Amino acid sequence: MPSIQVNDERLFYVHRGPAALAPAEMPAVLFSHGAGGTHRHWLPEVVAAGALTRAYALDLPGHGRSTGTGRDTISGYVEVVRGLLDALGLDRAVVGGHSMGGAIAQTLALTYPDRCAGLILTGTGARLRVLPAIMEGVLTDFSATVDVIGQYAYGPDAPTDLLRLGREEMLQNDPQVYHDDFLACDRFDIMDRLGEIRVPTLILCGTADRLTPPKYSHYLHEHIAGSTLTLIEGAGHMVMLEQPAQMNEAIARFLTGL
């Protein structure tokens, strides 16, 4: 897995696709994971999008194999992603994100519109309040709270192996990093600013998502001009891992239409 220095942190990422892109070609795509996640959540989509363009998914600082510490604001993570775009030599990219990663992507589109060629907003919203029991629980009873998150995070048909792997991965997090991710989500609210987003936007959500319910995605769709909404039947919050084939079909259609 390659890594790259961004300021004083070393960020790990996966990538697929051609080594270099001609300026006229489809822009690269960069995916960010959600609270307490890693690049693994986007692996099926990076592999599939790599057949069309250069595709990346990173481990945010303090997550997975990246060094450094997490942030407790979305704008803090936006600076990380912008720094990674710089370090990778990408003037513009389609920015994708899941849950907290979707908040990062939306905020990057608002803060650095010239760096954002499009948005892929997955299992996310314009406001991401977090259940106090989850936010505090990761610090007071980490293992039990990871179980609670696991119960909310998947649709009814998700295979038990996926749930087991997800639980093992969540338990590897530093509880403080996880807490600060949730704090960043809880502080995030751009409900009134979506009209300023002017880039092509694909919105994806599982119909059985209980952490960021489809209502949030409908709101994004209603307020981001020209956006496309694709609901994935039966999938929960971890829709990228639960239904990668349907995700990849929607993403490929979006990217080829840019």
Minimum separation from the CB atom of position 97 to ligand COA (A): 12
Minimum distance of ligand COA from residue 165's CB (angstroms):
20
Q: What does the binding site for ligand COA look like in residue numbers (CB under 6 A)?
A: 35, 99-100, 125-131, 134, 185, 211-212, 215-216, 219
Q: Minimum CB separation from ligand COA for residue 149, in Å?
A: 9
Q: State the nearest-atom distance from the C-beta of 134 to ligand COA, in Å.
A: 5
Between 12 and 216, CB nearer to ligand COA: 216
In 3-state terms the chain splits into helix, strand, coil percentages (rounded to 5) of 45, 20, 35
Closer to ligand COA by Cβ: residue 35 or 90: 35
Give the pair of three-digit tokens for residue 34: 């959600």
Give, in order, the Cα–Cα distances in Å from 50 to each of 15, 28, 30, 180, 185: 8, 9, 11, 32, 29
Which residue is listed with tokens 């409900």? Answer: 191
For 212, the enclosing helix (H) or strand (E) is: none
Angle, helices 142-153/132-140, rounded to nearest 10 degrees = 140
| CB closer to ligand COA out of 83 and 150 | 150
Residue nearest to ligand COA (CB): 125
Nearer to ligand COA, 55 or 239 (CB): 239
